[in-house]
Amino acid sequence: MTTIAPEQVNRIVWNQHHDPFEVLGAHLIEENGKNNRWAVRAYLPNASAVTVILPEERKEYPMETVHDPHFFECTIETKELVNYQFRVKEGEHERVIYDPYAFHSPKLTEFDLHLFGEGNHHRIYEKLGAHPTEVNGVAGVYFAVWAPNARNVSVIGDFNSWDGRKHQMRKGHTGIWELFVPGLGVGEHYKYEIKNIEGHIYEKSDPYGFQQEPRPKTASIVSDLDAYSWGDEDWLENRRHSDPLTQPISVYEMHLGSWLHASSGEPAKLPNGETEPVVTVSELNPGARFLTYRELAERLIPYVKELGYTHIEILPVAEHPFDGSWGYQVTGYYAPTSRYGKPEDFMYFVDQCHKNGIGVIVDWVPGHFPKDGHGLAFFDGTHLYEHADPRKGEHKEWGTLVFNYSRNEVRNFLVANALFWFDKYHIDGIRVDAVASMLYLDYCRKDGEWVTNQYGGRENLEAAEFLRQVNHIIFSYFPGIVSIAEESTAWPMVSWPTYTGGLGFNLKWNMGWMHDMLDYFSMDPWFRQFHQNNITFSMWYHHSENYMLALSHDEVVHGKSNIIGKMPGDRWQKFANVRCLFAYMFTHPGKKTMFMSMEFGQWSEWNVWSDLEWRLFQHEPHQQLKEFFKDLNHLYRSEPALYTQDFAKEGFEWIDCSDNRHSVVSFIRRDKDSDNFVVTVCNFTPQPHSHYRIGVPEIGFYTELFNSDARQYGGSNMGNLGGKWTDNWSFHNRPYSLDLCLPPLGVLVLKLDKEKTAEALANS
């Protein structure tokens, strides 16, 4: 005897029901004191026969087909009906499964839904997505996805032959669809099959998925991010009590996939003897494969540690479909790319960095996302994550879509994502890409292709408020981290705290300094005397923001040449110019970032498809340049005057910035916690000066700490024989002065030796 109408059965069979729990599962149809009467229903498209098993009672009840050959029903009299099973016969095969529609306990509480709806659920990634869990003592995976405008959503995967009829999800009143599927676990491949109101079907990766298949496949993979055992507790505790603005920050920016490759025939380093296939690069680099995160930990970390960098910055590590995007067109915001391994392998990489005293910064891309069909674009059959109006929702130049920051759930997706990388992967900072494209509604748009804000202006007020929210939240949870803005305009107070009206970053790339430096150093040294302002202008505005000096990947691609190729002169002068540029950079106020390959003078532009030119190390000038960077980083980290007051006016003063005739500048950097200071003198021409006088504030012996023209770096070895005593001769409005030998295209760093000076004065 059937207990259900044909119309309800058809809605399940045709996958048109927003709440399949109303039809499927166990339903109480008669209640009495001893035994209740239940109707148990199941829709199993491949089944020829189904039996209900009550394990505790050791009873089985055959089911009958109702209104459809694959819709089954039976009635059972028992006091309570929980954790029953189905014995399913499919052709010659038989299996026993739990009924997913017998598990009604949602993982999302009303409070979760309230917070998500207002955009303030900071750890929504612990609720949405796919989570291995237990319900009523039965292990399985809980799936939840936000798709408010979908007509139907199903979870599909290997476990149900990618058939959207088999695991139809239930829609809550907030537009979140959910289902617990018993019997599944870590490693399952899945997607969401989404039908819009017109019945069009979209197969989507999980926006909150923690792992994806290696490209070109696009399925999400169930993962457990809490299984890895971390060993960086001391690092995190020290970070929590530190102020990065008063610490040395020297960043090695890199792209994991093109730093170094292995032969496709070389076995990969994987944990526990695993034999999972590795990922080859592309047809553009046949025979090569990517190094795994664990192999990178083994090879990259010792290299960066030897050179003395404090941080590694990784171009976006979130999952992306196209290698040539460098990671900046993200489809899996919560999944580290599977090109290099599993989530726990990336955790291992970060853990090993911390154990070796190296911080990890990840590029983060909240400004736009690609149009790939499996991604966020038109997610539920409507413009859900992006603006519907292309004048606000599309970057035509990049072929990408713009997040709708005015929608609470979209903003929550991104805010929680920033927090996620600190929480689950212990990273130490984010570098937010293309901030200017977020802040301005007319960014790269012609007249008529953009719309104003509510006040008639071009500022994206929602994006600015979103950035404030992100920064406020991540610093609240994780003090001691860095949040860096790649922002190229004059938007005010980018690196000011949110309570002052700033955007809340604590560092901002100094794009003006970068352009001025590259323009200056690319010109013939004779003409530099007419462009002294390029060298000095940055100090007019430096203290308006907390600046990071960056020579990044963007400066060594698209026909711009690599750094050494930008330099004028013969080969010797090119290397000398590189040393001069970076020595000035490391002594100038501001934190430092430079891109991989600059440290050894790669001639060709960066190519994402191939290795860096490691073969250049067989030539002495490239070995010497690497030694130069090693010593430069050591100097920078060992002298607090070079980093403790980067953003305080007391930390810097010009000695002389007006000697354009010789293209020489000199300045003082002062320590925050002592009266120590260092003196830097830069000669930006190939003409040496044997008697060049500068004023200094104190009497004594000034040790030559660093000379970029030293023989071991490939220079001419002109210098000051270890240091100079002051002359009792006032100069540059200072009571004492030094008579120095300035090397060609050279930078000197000197420091008062107080012990030697005191001893000499005592004996005089």
**Residues designated as active site:** 433, 486
β-bridge partners, 429 = 361, 482
**Strand bridging mode 400-401 / 369-370:** antiparallel
Nearest CA to 257 out of 330, 325, 342 is that of 325
Alpha-carbon distance of 754 to 676, in angstroms, equals 9
Which residue matches tokens 């291995």? 132
Nearest CA to 349 out of 228, 478, 210, 263 is that of 228
Alpha-carbon distance of 404 to 401, in angstroms, equals 9
The b-or-e profile of 244-253 (16+ CB within 10 A means b, else e) is bbebbbbbbb
Nearest CA to 26 out of 38, 36, 15 is that of 38
The b-or-e profile of 292-325 (16+ CB within 10 A means b, else e) is bbbbbbeebbeebeebbbbbbbbbbbbbbbebeb
- DSSP character at residue 726: P
Identity (one letter) of the amino acid at 373? G
Q: Which two tokens stand for residue 234?
A: 């001391």
In which region does residue 276 sit, left (phi positive, over 0), alpha (psi from -120 to 50) or beta (all else)? beta
Alpha-carbon distance of 760 to 764, in angstroms, equals 6
**Strand bridging mode 152-157 / 220-221:** unpaired
Nearest CA to 362 out of 334, 401, 394 is that of 334
Question: Terminus-to-terminus CA distance in the chain, angstroms?
Answer: 115
Which residue matches tokens 């170094």? 260
Q: For residue 83, how many other CB atoms are within 10 A of its CB?
A: 18
Which residue matches tokens 């399952």? 188
Q: Which two tokens stand for residue 219?
A: 């399925």
Q: Which two tokens stand for residue 286?
A: 């046949």
User: What sections of 47-156 are H helices per DSSP?
Assistant: 110-117
Sheet strands side by side (includes 400-401): 369-370, 400-401, 394-395
Spacing of C-alpha 725 from chain mean position: 49
Label each residue of 267-293 as H, E or C: CCCCHHHCCCCCCECCCCCCCEEECCH
Residues 295 and 269 sit within 8 Å (Cβ to Cβ): yes
**Strand bridging mode 189-195 / 152-157:** antiparallel
Residue 110: helix, strand or coil by DSSP? helix
| Class of residue 402 by CB neighbours under 10 A (exposed 0-12, middle 13-18, buried 19+) | buried
Q: Which two tokens stand for residue 290?
A: 């990517």
Q: Which two tokens stand for residue 5?
A: 């109408």
Residues 6+ apart with CB under 8 A from 436: 443, 486, 487, 488, 489, 491
Residues 403 and 369 sit within 8 Å (Cβ to Cβ): yes
Q: Which two tokens stand for residue 379?
A: 């997610």
Identity (one letter) of the amino acid at 752? L
Is-cis flag, bond preceding 216, omega within 30?
yes
No. of helices (H) and no. of strands (E), the chain: 17, 39
Identity (one letter) of the amino acid at 350? V
